[in-house]
């Protein structure tokens, strides 16, 4: 458990909570059932388990319930089995990634309901006015702004890999774009991510970047979001660690 967090228990529920927030969100996270406010806003990306919530006192957070994907989801939707609960693992990985300089949202708490068989949820600070990279690319006015977004994404992913973090689901919806051009692109969803001692090696980088490429091909099969120019801008920024010039 990272130093800034404490593990609290209430019956069958465990919650890792940032220490200073225990009085504010502890009773809510440790309740027998995690209830969302009526005004919670469902987020469109992912597997349908993420909500934007304003808690009492004006604390704005994103709550993500753990949901299975693939064929397993046809049988079991939100139940997991194992001695190392994924919410607690994701909290620890995200905290370490942030410590190493990765632009990622702060985790405020992680909830585990049950023992060896469990359900889980993660609570992170909201990234204000953020859109997914895919949404930002679709809304951008032309190749120039799209290439600028790709360059920003290249820098963010380079920081992720240089920090030794392998993201298990690197895709265009797990990269969030802030409203200002100078904002870091924020990496989210560190479920099943792994942290290495040093920077990622070439093989791990290629595998992770190939996953990102597959995401672009799946979301933009016609190649309408920039094509080769977009890829060049990303690659130049990723490789150089500096802003890429579009059209070179």
The catalytic residues are 169
Dihedral angle of Cα 28, 34, 35, 39, to the nearest 10 degrees:
80
Burial grade of 149 (CB within 10 A; 0-12, 13-18, 19 or more): buried
Q: What's the rounded Cα separation, in Å, for the pair 247 and 32?
A: 56
Q: What's the rounded Cα separation, in Å, for the pair 202 and 200?
A: 7
């Amino acid at each position: 458990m990272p130093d800034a967090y404490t593990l609290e228990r209430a019956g069958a529920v465990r919650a890792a909570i940032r220490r200073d927030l225990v009085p504010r969100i502890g009773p809510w996270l440790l309740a027998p059932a995690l209830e969302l406010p009526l005004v919670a806003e469902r987020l469109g990306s992912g597997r349908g388990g993420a909500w934007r919530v304003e808690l009492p006192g004006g604390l704005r957070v994103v709550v993500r319930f753990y949901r299975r994907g693939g064929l397993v989801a046809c049988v079991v939707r939100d139940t997991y089995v194992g001695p190392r609960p994924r919410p607690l693992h994701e909290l620890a990985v995200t905290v370490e990634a942030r410590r190493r300089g990765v632009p990622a949202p702060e985790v405020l708490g992680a909830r585990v309901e049950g023992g060896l068989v469990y359900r889980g949820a993660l609570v992170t600070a909201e990234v204000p006015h953020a859109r997914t990279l895919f949404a930002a690319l679709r809304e951008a006015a032309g190749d120039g702004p799209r290439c600028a977004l790709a360059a920003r994404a290249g820098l963010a992913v380079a920081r992720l890999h240089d920090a030794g973090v392998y993201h298990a689901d690197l895709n265009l919806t797990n990269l969030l774009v802030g409203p200002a051009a100078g904002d870091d692109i924020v990496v989210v969803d560190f479920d099943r991510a792994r942290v290495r001692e040093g920077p990622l090696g070439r093989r791990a980088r290629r595998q992770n970047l190939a996953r990102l490429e597959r995401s672009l091909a799946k979301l933009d099969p016609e190649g309408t979001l920039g094509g080769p120019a977009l890829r060049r801008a990303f690659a130049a920024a990723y490789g150089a660690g500096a802003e890429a010039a579009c059209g070179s």
